[in-house]
């Protein structure tokens, strides 16, 4: 049995690496697919000076065949050399390094909100008939139509203009101040996903509660609290985990919207800005980073699910 | 014996019965119809030129003259909302149509041929799935420049895996059913089986998925415009309006952001309600 | 007679519905005494399952019960909820039709076995585990210690059903509710489970309410039988004198459906239309755990011949390879070795072109087990049959197609007014008639029946078998009948092939094989069929190598689910 688990983990790892490899090929080929001269694309869409052309050609090995260029690029990424932004005129690794922390903090804050309120309200709606269930159902129906930017402008209007309890711009200094500043951004990022996770949680629990093995437990007189824990929630958890995992894995990308709305200098706003300035080297590295985060987080969730349900085997493929 | 005859005979009575018992469904349908009308006819109904500066005072609240007030440049918000409807609604439509057609084709080929065709196509869709839609759209913008075209095409590809997974699973389960074996034993041709039996069986699920996908596409495209990477000012795309109204929020004039935001939420809300009903119908049709 | 431990007094059960409430069970009265097995027999939809669910507290939301259900003389509707739960936990045991669905797939057998002992009876975990292993041994599960650590996915259907029974006994309940507990099992496994049940009833004085659609089984294992039709108990009979005492026409219909039919005679000695020789098929199955590929030999050196207008039955349990053989003949699978030749042509590999498939379609057709699944649910009867006819008569006019469809409807004795209905609004028997009419559309010379009656109610089975026999006489079509049901094969076939684990164990004229079986396995199959005076026997020690249950293949209990899925016999 343990060899089976090991074999499956290794298989997953292989699939994950293959996906990452293929995704990196897709992302790298952006240089080739961009209309016009690759040198122009790498320089941010403007014709660079002859000196800069030489620098760009040398750095990206443009005189070599395409696959060699790719290998240099990937080799650089793997050894921590993310190349140079010719728009910011700085190494990309510095651009990302100074901004990653705040985005990570924002994402963790948001994950906390999603897990506590999303899963919590889902359980509540599944277990309590009547008013609580109705309230959660209506709330989540509206919630899944409330994107980050809409929640953000509402919060900015309410707190920035009317109440003034929370700051509506910037990320602050120091951890506590960071958290204080990130409260509204985290709320605006989480609302839609709280609603989504809540609905999935409720659905999974209700489906399990009607399953036949729960009938068996009921006939046997197992106390209802234990039935819920060991037969309903346990069996619903793979589905809840799968959906939450994919949602959370995607947060690093969508955080760009909250960062933009609240003027936070994280990797999301760097990505937006770089795209607006056509700074392809920065966008490529960030894309690869976000894809890697997405794929790895999903794979981690898959492993957790495999521990709960060893037979889930090949039912879900994310990597 | 056409697809329409086979599928069409069933939809209308069911839909009618659902509508009678379900006022929310009717409300959502009416809102959706109004939004679509607005997208088509909006530009003809604008009381003012949507891009004309200072048709009224700057940041005036809603009034008889300007029903939704005016923005920071004195433009009529109602006119801008009406004019921006087309881009805000048709962008997502293109995303849904392209991703559904491509995704379903890939999925049916995958399920039908199996073997290495399936393995290759599935691997490709898994790779696309690994790239979040927003990231792919931003990558496209940095390649092709700002505007709606690059994000729309990028999202069409990014949504493909969701469609193809669903349709592939449906097609595999359908092809595994005994009636498919029965058709083959009768000597019915492959094309006839796919178009007369397989596709109609999958249609409800595909329709349900497209309805829900439309909501997501609308949110994603509005977000890209909000980030300043999609539709460009002075275009009155709803996402652009929400973003350019942001500074006025702190001046106590939320109308410029609020009205387009309200329309986005209302549209997505109605689409979700319709989608849930279509899904329920699809599941019933499958039983 | 001792006082009944379980009693129904004028019980009616009503379901809520969009079109007003519907009463599913009407005025049902019955008693079960300790040590007694009461059979509750009826066809699908007769209300028997709802009756037991009412006792167990498993009715869906909104269902209402009138009258009194008494456990130990106590009306359960008068008890407070907590007390009732406790009484149910201690006094009732319930075993269901599908053990796999009724066990939590994520928890081990040990968890399942000990859960009630710990949480309801308050035993320590150690004591509960010891008790659980004793119980597993009592129901004949080998190596209980290992089984305790496994999950339901690792066990076969027959073993799971025994686990269910063992878990039920943990609280030593005086009442056992058994809801179609052997319906999903093979006959030999059914015999094992029934033998376990008979032992327990004797040693523990269990009162058993035994729900089944199978009157022969009920007659063989029950003391009394209550016959239920449309929610009413039409009569209650002593099992031993049932045949003589039955007064109700419905009971007599059920009884006639299980009587052995007259043997068909008259063998044709013409050149065979179908010859199968040395057929071999191997599946590579990836086991659910581990991901290691296992080789599963589904069909191993199978050969037989079918005469024009003849009828040959292939009999075996799940995993015997009988369905795979049929699928190879019809071109749904390809063989690894051996040959299939039809009218002298080689059919070993499936036809590639649509034209080739159409040509074969005019010779061999197939009728599947579940007509609801083998018909496109979106097509009306007429659309379905028109399509089947049009494939082979491309130039036919609308009127010609219509006439041919009417002819087909008449040939299966189906009311033409049903032609515009979809499968959903037809009965099981009507659906199977449509499927047969569709198979006849191409005027085939061979009709392959893959468990074609086993999903139907018993009275409907008889109608369909009679119809098929008539069609064979009228059209001279040869029948190849795949079935696990010896009685059905006996009714329709001249020749029989008995298969086990992919191989043929016996082969010959039906009367010879069934009346004087040579192979031990054939005798075992025949002995396993419930009948009057039947005493189910436990054979586990004697037949370790024999597949002991529904998923069992060559490697016995270690084989898991995917094989069943591939074989598709059930």
Cis bond upstream, residue B234 (ω within 30): yes
| Closest chain A CA to residue B127 | A19
How many domains does one find in chain B?
Answer: 1
For B242, the closest of A149, A280, A294 (CB atoms) is A149
From start to end of chain A, where are the E strands?
84-85, 90-91
Q: Specify the higher pLDDT residue, B75 or C490.
A: C490
State the smallest CA–CA distance between residue B26 and chain C in angstroms: 20
Q: Specify the higher pLDDT residue, C452 or A46.
A: C452
Per DSSP, A128 falls in state -
Are A222 and C116 inside 8 Å of each other by CB?
Answer: yes
Are A291 and B131 inside 8 Å of each other by CB?
Answer: yes
A148 chain-B contacts, CB cut-off 8 A: 223
3-class DSSP string for chain B:
CCHHHHHHHHHHHHHHHHHHHCHHHHHHHHHHHHHHHHHHHHHHHCCCCCCCCCCCCCCCCCCCCCCCCECCCCCEHHHHHHHHHHHHHHHHHHHHHHHHHHHHHHHHHHHHHCHHHHHHHHHHHHHHHHCCHHHHHHHHHHHHCCCCHHHHHHHHHHCHHHHHHHHHHHHHHHHCCHHHHHHHHHCCCHHHHHHHHHHHHHHHHHHHHHHHHHHHHHHHHHHHHHCCCCCCCCCCCHHHHHHHCHHHHCCCCCHHHHHHHHHHHHHHHHHHHHHHHHHHHHHHHHC
- Quick one: pLDDT at residue A5? 66
Are A153 and B138 inside 8 Å of each other by CB?
Answer: no
Residue A65 in any domain: the answer is no
| Contacts within 8 Å (CB) and 24+ apart, B2-6 | B3/B195, B3/B196, B3/B199, B3/B200, B6/B196, B6/B200, B6/C378, B6/C379, B6/C383
Per DSSP, C12 falls in state E
B188 chain-C contacts, CB cut-off 8 A: 354, 387, 391
CA B103 to chain centre: 15
Give the integer Cα–Cα distance in Å for A190 and A106.
10
Give the integer Cα–Cα distance in Å for C289 and A310.
8
- Quick one: pLDDT at residue A204? 93
Are A287 and B215 inside 8 Å of each other by CB?
Answer: no
For A30, the closest of B143, B246, B249 (CB atoms) is B143
- Quick one: pLDDT at residue C269? 54
Residue A215 in any domain: the answer is yes
Per DSSP, C551 falls in state T
Out of B238-242, C66-70, C562-566, which region has the weakest mean confidence (pLDDT)? C562-566
For A221, the closest of C86, C104, C167 (CB atoms) is C86
Are A276 and B144 inside 8 Å of each other by CB?
Answer: no
CB C517 within 8 A of CB C486: no
From start to end of A145-253, where are the E strands?
none
CB C290 within 8 A of CB C471: no
Is the pLDDT at C322 greater than 70? The verdict is yes
Cα–Cα–Cα angle for A242, A245, A247, nearest 5°?
Answer: 110
Are B249 and A161 inside 8 Å of each other by CB?
Answer: yes
For chain C, the helix, strand and coil percentages under 3-state DSSP, each to the nearest 5: 40, 25, 35
Residue A78 in any domain: the answer is no
Is the pLDDT at C211 greater than 90? The verdict is yes
CB C92 within 8 A of CB C86: no
Q: What are phi and psi of C156, to 5 degrees?
A: -80, 165
Out of A63-67, C74-78, C548-552, which region has the weakest mean confidence (pLDDT)? C548-552
pTM summary value: 0.81
- Quick one: pLDDT at residue C487? 84
State the smallest CA–CA distance between residue C179 and chain B in angstroms: 24
How many domains does one find in chain A?
Answer: 1
- Find residue C9's DSSP bridge partners: C68
**pLDDT 10s digits, A219-244:** 888 888 999 999 999 999 999 999 88
Give the integer Cα–Cα distance in Å for A85 and A282.
6
**pLDDT 10s digits, B63-73:** 777 677 777 77
Q: What is the mean pLDDT of residues C38-58?
A: 88
Residue A30 in any domain: the answer is no
With 0-12 / 13-18 / 19 or more C-beta atoms within 10 angstroms meaning exposed / middle / buried, residue A21 is: exposed
C57 chain-A contacts, CB cut-off 8 A: 218-219
C302's enclosing H/E stretch is strand C293-306
| Closest chain B CA to residue A164 | B250
A226 chain-C contacts, CB cut-off 8 A: 115, 119
Say whether C455 sits in a helix, a strand or coil. coil
Neighbours of chain B (3+ CB pairs under 8 A): A, C
Say if C139 is an interface residue toward chain B (CB within 8 Å). Answer: no
Give the integer Cα–Cα distance in Å for C557 and C570.
18
DSSP result, A228-285: IIIIIIHHHHHHHHHHHHHHHHHHHHHHHHHHHHHT--SHHHHHHHHHHTT-HHHHHH
Q: What are phi and psi of B190, to 5 degrees?
A: -60, -45
In order of start, what are the domains of chain C with their CATH numbers? Answer: 6-259 (3.40.50.300), 274-567 (3.40.50.300)
Are C107 and A231 inside 8 Å of each other by CB?
Answer: yes
Is the pLDDT at A314 greater than 60? The verdict is no
Residue B266 in any domain: the answer is yes
For B272, the closest of A34, A141, A284 (CB atoms) is A141
Residue B156 in any domain: the answer is yes
State the smallest CA–CA distance between residue C460 and chain B in angstroms: 21
Residue A134 in any domain: the answer is yes
Beta strands at C495-500 and C337-342: parallel, antiparallel or unpaired = unpaired
Residue B81 in any domain: the answer is yes
Per-residue tokens: C17: 């519905």
- Find residue C305's DSSP bridge partners: C275
Percent of chain A past pLDDT 90, that is, above it, reads: 31
What domain range includes position B141?
13-286
Cα–Cα–Cα angle for C326, C328, C334, nearest 5°?
Answer: 165
State the smallest CA–CA distance between residue B262 and chain A in angstroms: 8
Are A278 and B138 inside 8 Å of each other by CB?
Answer: no
State the smallest CA–CA distance between residue C535 and chain A in angstroms: 29
Are B184 and C441 inside 8 Å of each other by CB?
Answer: no
Say if B189 is an interface residue toward chain C (CB within 8 Å). Answer: yes
Say if A101 is an interface residue toward chain C (CB within 8 Å). Answer: no
Q: What is the mean pLDDT of residues C472-486?
A: 90
Is the pLDDT at C262 greater than 50? The verdict is no
Domain of residue A235, CATH code: 1.10.3720.10
Are C374 and B181 inside 8 Å of each other by CB?
Answer: yes
- Find residue C284's DSSP bridge partners: C295
- Quick one: pLDDT at residue B20? 64
3-class DSSP string for C405-421:
HHHHHHHCCCCHHHHHC
State the smallest CA–CA distance between residue C91 and chain A in angstroms: 10
Give the integer Cα–Cα distance in Å for C162 and C180.
14
Give the integer Cα–Cα distance in Å for A141 and B21.
19
Is the pLDDT at C192 greater than 90? The verdict is no
Give residue for tokens 């008259």: C266
Q: Which of A275, A283, A289, A290 to mutate to test the interface with B (most CBs of B within 10 A)?
A: A275
Are B184 and C364 inside 8 Å of each other by CB?
Answer: no
**pLDDT 10s digits, A101-142:** 899 999 999 999 999 999 999 999 998 878 888 899 889 988
For B185, the closest of C354, C365, C392 (CB atoms) is C365
Q: Specify the higher pLDDT residue, C248 or B53.
A: C248
Residue A275 in any domain: the answer is yes
Residues 353-392 of C with CB under 8 A from B: 354, 357-362, 364-366, 368-370, 373-376, 378-379, 383, 386-388, 391-392
Neighbours of chain A (3+ CB pairs under 8 A): B, C
Are B6 and C378 inside 8 Å of each other by CB?
Answer: yes
- Quick one: pLDDT at residue A191? 94
Q: HSE (CB half, 13 Å, CA atoms) of A185? A: 35
- Find residue A90's DSSP bridge partners: A85
C107 chain-A contacts, CB cut-off 8 A: 230-231, 234
For C291, the closest of A7, A213, A222 (CB atoms) is A7
Farthest CA pair distance, chain B = 76
Out of A172-176, A314-318, C267-271, C274-278, which region has the weakest mean confidence (pLDDT)? A314-318
**pLDDT 10s digits, C538-561:** 765 433 333 334 333 333 333 333
Is the pLDDT at A202 greater than 60? The verdict is yes
Give the integer Cα–Cα distance in Å for A228 and A205.
9
Residue A125 in any domain: the answer is yes
Sheet holding C232-238, edge to edge: C92-95, C175-179, C207-212, C37-41, C224-229, C232-238
- Find residue C228's DSSP bridge partners: C233
Distances (CA, A) of C88 to B21, C79, C99, C236: 40, 11, 20, 26
Say whether C259 sits in a helix, a strand or coil. coil
Residue A66 in any domain: the answer is no
What domain range includes position A181?
93-294
Per-residue tokens: B78: 């109602």
Q: What is the mean pLDDT of residues C297-301?
A: 89
Per DSSP, A156 falls in state I
Across the A:B interface, residue pairs with CB atoms under 8 Å apart total 145
Are B130 and A294 inside 8 Å of each other by CB?
Answer: yes
Per-residue tokens: A103: 């985005």
């Amino acid at each position: 049995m343990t060899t089976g688990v090991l074999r499956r983990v290794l298989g997953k790892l292989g699939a994950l690496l293959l996906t990452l490899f293929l995704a990196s090929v897709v992302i790298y080929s952006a240089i080739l697919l961009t209309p016009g001269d690759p040198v122009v694309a790498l320089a941010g869409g403007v014709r660079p000076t002859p000196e800069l052309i030489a620098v760009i050609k040398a750095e990206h090995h443009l005189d070599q065949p395409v696959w060699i260029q790719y290998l240099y690029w990937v080799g650089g990424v793997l050894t921590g050399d993310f190349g140079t932004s010719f728009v910011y005129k700085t190494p990309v690794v510095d651009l990302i390094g100074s901004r990653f922390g705040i985005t990570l903090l924002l994402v963790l804050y948001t994950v906390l909100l999603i897990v506590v309120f999303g899963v919590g309200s889902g359980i509540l709606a599944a277990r309590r008939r009547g008013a609580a269930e109705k309230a959660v159902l209506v709330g989540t129906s509206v919630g899944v139509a409330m994107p980050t930017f809409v929640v953000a402008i509402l919060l900015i209007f309410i707190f920035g203009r009317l109440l003034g309890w929370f700051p509506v711009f910037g990320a602050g200094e120091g951890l506590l101040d960071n958290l204080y500043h990130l409260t509204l951004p985290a709320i605006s990022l989480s609302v839609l996903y709280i609603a989504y996770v809540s609905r999935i949680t409720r659905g999974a629990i209700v489906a399990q509660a009607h399953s036949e093995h729960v009938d068996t437990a009921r006939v046997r007189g197992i106390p209802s609290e234990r039935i819920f824990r060991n037969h309903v929630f346990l069996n619903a958890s793979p589905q809840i985990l799968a959906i939450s995992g994919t949602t959370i894995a995607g947060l690093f990308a969508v955080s760009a919207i909250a960062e933009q709305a609240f003027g936070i200098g994280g990797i999301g706003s760097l990505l937006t800005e770089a795209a607006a300035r056509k700074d392809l080297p920065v966008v490529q590295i960030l894309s690869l980073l976000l894809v890697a985060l997405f794929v790895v987080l999903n794979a981690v969730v898959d492993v957790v699910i495999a521990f709960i349900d060893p037979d889930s085997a090949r039912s879900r493929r994310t990597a | 014996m056409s697809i329409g005859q086979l599928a069409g005979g069933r939809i209308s009575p069911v839909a009618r019965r659902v509508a009678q018992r379900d006022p929310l469904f009717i409300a959502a349908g009416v809102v959706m119809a109004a939004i679509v009308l607005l997208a088509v006819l909006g530009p003809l109904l604008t009381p003012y030129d949507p891009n004309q500066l200072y048709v009224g005072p700057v940041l005036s609240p809603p009034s008889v003259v300007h029903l939704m007030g005016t923005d920071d440049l004195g433009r009529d918000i109602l006119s801008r909302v009406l004019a921006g409807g087309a881009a805000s609604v048709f962008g997502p439509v293109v995303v849904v149509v392209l991703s559904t057609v491509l995704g379903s084709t890939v999925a049916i080929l995958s399920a039908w041929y199996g073997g290495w065709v399936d393995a290759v196509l599935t691997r490709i869709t898994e790779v696309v799935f690994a790239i979040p839609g927003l990231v792919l759209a931003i990558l496209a913008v940095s390649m092709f420049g700002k505007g709606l075209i690059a994000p729309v095409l990028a999202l069409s590809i990014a949504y493909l895996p969701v469609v193809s997974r669903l349709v592939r699973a449906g097609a595999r389960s359908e092809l595994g059913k005994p009636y498919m074996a029965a058709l083959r034993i009768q000597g019915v041709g492959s094309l006839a089986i796919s178009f007369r039996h397989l596709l109609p069986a999958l249609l409800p699920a595909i329709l349900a998925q497209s309805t829900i996908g439309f909501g997501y596409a609308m949110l994603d495209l509005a977000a890209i415009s909000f980030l300043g990477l999609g539709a460009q000012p002075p275009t009155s795309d709803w996402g652009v309006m929400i973003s350019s109204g942001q500074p006025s929020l702190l001046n106590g004039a939320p109308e410029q952001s609020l009205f387009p935001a309200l329309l986005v939420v209302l549209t997505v809300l109605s689409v979700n309600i319709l989608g849930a009903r279509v899904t329920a119908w699809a599941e019933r049709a499958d039983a | 007679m001792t006082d009944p431990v379980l009693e129904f007094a004028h019980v009616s059960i009503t379901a809520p519905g969009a079109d007003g409430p519907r009463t599913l069970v009407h005025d049902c009265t019955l008693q079960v005494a300790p040590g007694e097995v009461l059979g509750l027999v009826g066809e699908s939809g007769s209300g028997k399952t709802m009756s037991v669910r009412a006792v167990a507290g498993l009715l869906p939301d909104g269902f209402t019960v009138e009258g009194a259900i008494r456990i130990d003389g106590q009306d359960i509707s008068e008890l407070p909820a907590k007390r009732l739960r406790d009484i149910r936990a201690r006094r009732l045991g319930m075993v269901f039709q599908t053990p796999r669905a009724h066990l939590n797939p994520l928890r081990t057998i040990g968890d399942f076995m000990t859960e009630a002992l710990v949480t309801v009876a308050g035993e320590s975990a150690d004591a509960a585990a010891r008790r659980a292993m004793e119980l597993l041994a009592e129901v004949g599960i080998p190596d209980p210690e290992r089984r305790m650590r496994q999950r339901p996915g690792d066990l076969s259907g027959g073993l799971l059903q025994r686990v269910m029974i063992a878990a039920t006994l943990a609280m030593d309940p005086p009442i056992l509710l058994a809801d179609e507990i052997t319906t999903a099992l093979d006959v030999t496994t059914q015999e094992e489970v029934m033998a376990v049940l008979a032992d327990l009833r004797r040693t523990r004085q269990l009162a058993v309410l035994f729900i089944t659609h199978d009157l022969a089984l009920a007659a063989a294992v029950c003391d009394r039988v209550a016959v239920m039709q449309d929610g009413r108990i039409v009569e209650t009979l002593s099992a031993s004198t049932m045949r003589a005492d039955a007064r109700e026409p419905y009971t007599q219909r059920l009884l006639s459906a299980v009587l052995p039919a007259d043997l068909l005679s008259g063998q044709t000695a013409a050149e065979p239309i179908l010859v199968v020789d040395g057929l071999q098929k191997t599946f590579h199955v990836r086991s659910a755990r581990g991901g290691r590929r296992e080789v599963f030999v589904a069909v191993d050196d199978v050969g037989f011949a079918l005469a024009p207008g003849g009828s040959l039955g292939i009999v075996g349990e799940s995993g015997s390879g009988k369905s795979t053989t049929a699928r190879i003949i019809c071109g749904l699978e390809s063989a690894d070795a051996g040959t299939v030749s039809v009218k002298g042509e080689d059919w070993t590999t499936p036809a590639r072109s649509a034209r080739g498939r159409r040509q074969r379609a005019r010779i061999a057709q197939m009728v599947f087990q579940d007509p609801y699944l083998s018909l496109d649910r979106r097509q009306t009867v007429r659309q379905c049959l028109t399509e089947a006819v049009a494939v082979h008569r491309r130039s036919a006019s609308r009127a010609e197609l219509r006439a041919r469809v009417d002819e087909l409807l008449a040939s299966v004795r189906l009311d033409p007014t049903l032609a515009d209905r979809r499968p959903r609004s037809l009965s099981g028997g009507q659906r199977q008639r449509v499927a047969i009419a569709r198979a006849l559309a191409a005027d085939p010379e061979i009709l392959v029946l893959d468990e074609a009656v086993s999903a139907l109610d018993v009275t409907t089975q008889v109608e369909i078998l009679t119809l098929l026999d008539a069609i064979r006489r009228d059209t001279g079509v040869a029948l190849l009948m795949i079935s696990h049901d010896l009685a059905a094969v006996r009714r329709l076939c001249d020749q029989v092939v008995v298969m086990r684990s992919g191989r043929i164990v016996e082969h010959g004229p039906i009367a010879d094989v069934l009346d004087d079986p040579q192979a031990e396995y054939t005798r075992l199959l025949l002995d396993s069929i419930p009948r009057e005076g039947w005493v189910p026997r436990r054979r586990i020690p004697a037949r370790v190598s024999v597949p002991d249950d529904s998923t069992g293949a060559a490697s016995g209990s270690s084989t898991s689910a995917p094989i069943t899925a591939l074989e598709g016999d059930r």
